[in-house]
Structure 1
Amino acid sequence: MPVIVQTVLLLILSNLFMTFAWYAHLKDQGGKPLLLAVLASWGIAFFEYLIQVPANRIGFTELSLGQLKILQEIIALAVFVPFAVLYMKQTLSLNYLWAACCLAGAAYFIFKK
């Protein structure tokens, strides 16, 4: 499997974990003690790191550090938007589209030879 495909798939999976670690407690544990939310988030984030670190190591064999970072941000937004709309029941706005356009521009420049 090509390095870029491995990297993208692992980053998508790691971002699913991290998005839940960062934001799911806002919906699920709003009335619970902060320490409980922190510990639950750390527990979820542990699995994210088990995927994120290999993704970056694999990706860095063919991508620059800047390319890895922009790729990560694009994937983070691509994972976050469905999470926000479907899980957190947030309203989708045009601002998500404008943010995606900015990231597309960033991707163009960082991957341009």
Structure 2
Amino acid sequence: MITVMNRIGVKPEFAAQFEESFRNRAGLVDGMPGFIRNEVLKPTKPGDPYIVLTYWQDEPSFRAWTESDEFKQGHARSGSLPHDAFTGRPVLEVHDVLLSSDN
């Protein structure tokens, strides 16, 4: 299993709108082969990034998602926030799960 973590810096004045965009997300990833679950983590300290964390059976499943029509459709919906709502470029990290208390 892998995790894909996307760290997204959001300016405070856009935080509510950013959160609402995830509450109303298209959910297209949910039916993708290899997808396990999605979590959106809200920072507890001002200035820290939001973290969008997805769990996948393997990296090929994640890569297939990023090349799918569903990915393009889902991310086209996320364009409702202006470019200046963000503090910089998102940072994507991929990790193998070495240990999980769920196992």
- TM-score (norm. length: structure 2): 0.31
Greater relative contact order structure (CA < 8 Å, 6+ sep): 2
Which structure has the bigger radius of gyration? 1
- Structure 1 or 2: more strand by fraction: 2
Task: Report which of the two has the higher share of helix.
Answer: 1
TM-score, L = length of structure 1: 0.30
